[in-house]
Structure 1
Amino acid sequence: MDFKAMFRFLEELRDNNHKEWLDRHRKRYLEIKAEYQEWVDHLDVRLEQLDSDYYPTPGKRAITRINNNLMFHPNKPTYKDYIGAAVDRRPGTGDFYVHLGAGECFIAGGFFRPEAKVLRSIREGIDYNGEALQALIEAPSFVKYFGQLDTTDNLKTAPKGYPKDHPHIQLLRRKSFEAYHTMERQMVFEPDYLDYVTEVYSAMLPFRKYLNKTVTV
């Protein structure tokens, strides 16, 4: 996979974000997309071998559309200046997402601002066994890649139905349960990049399994 060609394309798209430019370069885009789909196929096979509960997600289904949804976000540019791939996409659960963009590269997983029903289920799981989640996010392997979970989006007080002195009130106040790992672009060019993404997946897996169990049991 020629990742340098992908980033050159995304940078040019960012600076020429209109249909006429993409139409002129559509063949180039489709070639890059096909190449990346093949790379994601390799990742998909690798993760399926690693995790017995993995939900196979080939590159064709994993890669997100490059068009922004202007109906709901009319102020956004016509096209995204990144290519995202979401694997382990079992319906109703939190997936594992790789983001390669002109501006930033990161890996994330879990639930970002989930709908009310999902958030309620996660909080019920924390109420029942918050000790397990706390231990997972404090584990050295988790902290190494993801640090501490972001708290900027937390509720200012306890969610409805929970006391302010609940032993896991800091977790219950969360509106997002997402592990986030920033990557330097240079990492993507390294020959062991596939191994690196696999390591991040492994470090995140217990966290995602906990959350997915709360929303599926």
Structure 2
Amino acid sequence: MPNHPLKEPFAFLNQLQNNNNREWFNTHKDTYLKAHQQVIAFAEKLHQSLSKSDLIETPTGKKSLHRIYRDVRFSKDKTPYSTYFGGGFRRATALRRGGYYYHLEPHHTHVIGGFWGPNAADLLHIRKQIQLDPEPLREILDAAEFKLHFGQLLGARLKTYPRGFEADDPAIDLLRYKQFLIRHDFTEREVHSVDFHELVAEQFQNMRPFFDYMSDILSTDFNGEPLH
């Protein structure tokens, strides 16, 4: 049975979790570089698979990868390296909103899609569109396929209600969101499969009804006309 493509990267990460310091990392730099190349190869395959179902602005899988070196300047956690490999793909053009993120970590591998930090104008527009007609979003979130793959809508929420809206608004449960995220966690068996990149691309594709809805409301006015 062939080794899964992330076997060596995961073996490196398991060691890094117990040795997260510069001395150990520099001693094992060659191991890291080999693991990194294998993650790049995985990301390239993922980019190719994802590009079959969506238009991606990120030019290559390699360009999607985040650095393993942590910026600890403003963090209480001073460990210098991330103990996972992660990356993200940006959708192309203003008509395709949302971003895809993959997180590769032993026993915690998952993908996330959505809107991490909408600017104030976009967030207000999203809320007003949802307030006007919350049913399309509810239908997406209540669909059996959505619940199977993602469970529920995630993201930071206000404890009360946003300014300009009422606490008793029928859509207040949705209007409280400041982020709009969906997540799928993979089993170890899935992660260890030789075609894992296809499983990741499949879950990204399963995000499309949610992405298409959000893209539509962000690119149209309240009468459904295109925003200029």
Equivalences for 1:49-128 in 2 at 5 Å?
Answer: 49-51=52-54, 53-90=55-92, 93-102=97-106, 104-128=108-132
Q: Which residue of 2 aligns with 1:23?
A: 26
Please state how far the C-alpha of 1:103 moved relative to its aligned partner: 5.3
For this pair of structures, how many residues does the alignment match? 215
Please state how far the C-alpha of 1:76 moved relative to its aligned partner: 3.9
Q: Which residue of 1 aligns with 2:222?
A: none
SS for the counterpart of 2:207 is helix
Q: Which residue of 1 aligns with 2:224?
A: none
The 1:136–1:54 alpha-carbon spacing in structure 2 relative to 1, beyond 3 Å, is: farther
Equivalences for 1:107-186 in 2 at 5 Å?
Answer: 107-150=111-154, 153-186=156-189
Runs of 4+ in 1 over 4 A off after TM superposition: 89-93, 213-217
Give the counterpart letter for 1:132 in structure 2.
P
Candidates 33, 37, 40, aligned match of 1:34: 37
Q: Distance in 1 between matches of 2:92 and 2:68?
A: 22
Q: In the alignment, is the contact (CA less than 8 A) between 1:14 and 1:102 conserved in 2?
A: no
The 1:135–1:34 alpha-carbon spacing in structure 2 relative to 1, beyond 3 Å, is: same
Which has more helix, going by share of residues? 1
SS for the counterpart of 1:11 is helix
Q: Distance in 1 between matches of 2:181 and 2:11?
A: 29
| 1:155-181 Cα shifts (integer Å, max 9, x gaps) | 232211112222211100112210011
Q: In the alignment, is the contact (CA less than 8 A) between 1:82 and 1:100 conserved in 2?
A: yes
| 1:80-108 Cα shifts (integer Å, max 9, x gaps) | 00000212355884311110114511111
Candidates 201, 209, 213, aligned match of 1:210: 213
Give the counterpart letter for 1:144 in structure 2.
L
- Of structures 1 and 2, the larger Rg is shown by 2
TM-score (norm 2): 0.83
Q: Distance in 1 between matches of 2:15 and 2:112?
A: 25
Indicate yes or no: 2:8 matched with 1:5: yes
Q: In the alignment, is the contact (CA less than 8 A) between 2:5 and 2:194 conserved in 1?
A: no
Please state how far the C-alpha of 1:43 moved relative to its aligned partner: 1.4
**Which runs of 5 or more residues in structure 2 are unaligned?**
220-226
SS for the counterpart of 2:68 is coil
Q: Distance in 2 between matches of 1:33 and 1:212?
A: 33
SS for the counterpart of 2:79 is coil
Please state how far the C-alpha of 1:34 moved relative to its aligned partner: 1.7
TM-score (norm 1): 0.87
Give the counterpart letter for 2:66 in structure 1.
T
Q: How large is the Cα RMSD of the aligned pairs?
A: 2.3
